[in-house]
Amino acid sequence: MLFQNRTDAGRKLATKLLHLRDQPGTIVLGLPRGGVPVAFEVAQALHVPLDIFLVRKLGVPGHEELAMGAIASGGVRVMNKDVMRMLPIPQRMVDAVAVDETRELERRERLYRGNRPPPDVHGKTVILIDDGLATGSSMRAAATALRELHPAKIIVAVPVGARQTCAELRNEVDEAICFSTPEPFYAVGYWYADFEPTSDDEVRALLAQASENAAAPATR
């Protein structure tokens, strides 16, 4: 066990990111739901804004576990060119799946963010955070989609991850920071004493708290 809970994990992860403290043009994006408590602690430690980045997989009809692409916050759609070459999927089927997943993504956006618009990441240093990396599929989709919004730099940061996944991600983003890469890895939850699912209410509360903290007069 490395971490008591996601709060403890976020505070420990933040120690690896202190070179970005108070840096203008930096934003932390948590992957809901489990990544948000971790991201909250990092954003507070670095004195930078916190928001979320939602990603929905576009599953191949009839083989939904196989991703033909993904959609993400900000109206981004990216397709898996290898899958699309391998399977002759009609565009109308792609669009139908995208419509359904966009509806769900927008529902979650409203649930978590309310009336606030998605963050403007153009030209910014973006720190993408989750509570851990096993296969890294969600994080890869997020990073690929985020790149379409033209940030200056993408940094992936997690408290714990499979060593190979962390190594592979370093070739796909500008920087990948894994606080710990234990061997054997087992699973993300194995390294937390408390790995209870993060609730929607907790995500909303943390985003509201971060917004209040950002609006408060600086005391540091």
Q: Which helix (H) or strand (E) holds 12?
A: helix 6-14
pLDDT in tens, 10-28: 999 999 999 999 999 999 9
Domain ranges of the chain: 6-55+122-215, 56-113
Q: Name the pTM for this structure.
A: 0.90
DSSP class per residue in 125-187: EEEEE-S-BSS-HHHHHHHHHHHTT--SEEEEEEEEB-HHHHHHHTTTSSEEEEEE--SS---
- The CA-atom distances, in angstroms, between 106 and each of 72, 85, 119 are 10, 29, 14
H/E run at residue 96: helix 91-113
Q: What is the pLDDT at residue 214? A: 82
Q: Tell me if 6-55+122-215 shares its fold with 56-113.
A: no
Q: What does the block give as tokens for 28?
A: 């932390």
Look-up of token digits 């730099």: 153
Kindly tell me if the per-residue pLDDT of 219 is higher than 60.
no
**In this structure, what token pair is assigned to residue 207?**
């985003």
**pLDDT higher than 70, residue 111:** yes
Which of 203, 177, 200 has the alpha carbon at shortest distance from 16? Answer: 177
Q: What is the mean pLDDT of residues 30-48?
A: 97
Task: Tell me the percentage of the chain whose pLDDT exceeds 70.
Answer: 98
2's enclosing H/E stretch is: none
Say if domain 6-55+122-215 classifies as CATH 3.40.50.2020.
yes
Is pLDDT larger for residue 217 or for residue 64? Answer: 64
Segment 162-217, tens digit of pLDDT: 999 999 999 999 999 999 999 999 999 999 999 999 999 999 999 999 988 887 76
Pick the CATH number of 56-113 from 3.20.20.450, 3.40.50.2000, 2.130.10.10, 3.30.1310.20: 3.30.1310.20
pLDDT at 217: 63
Please state, rounded to an integer, the average pLDDT across all residues of the chain. 92
As a whole number, mean pLDDT of residues 93-112 equals 92
* Residue 29: pLDDT over 60: yes
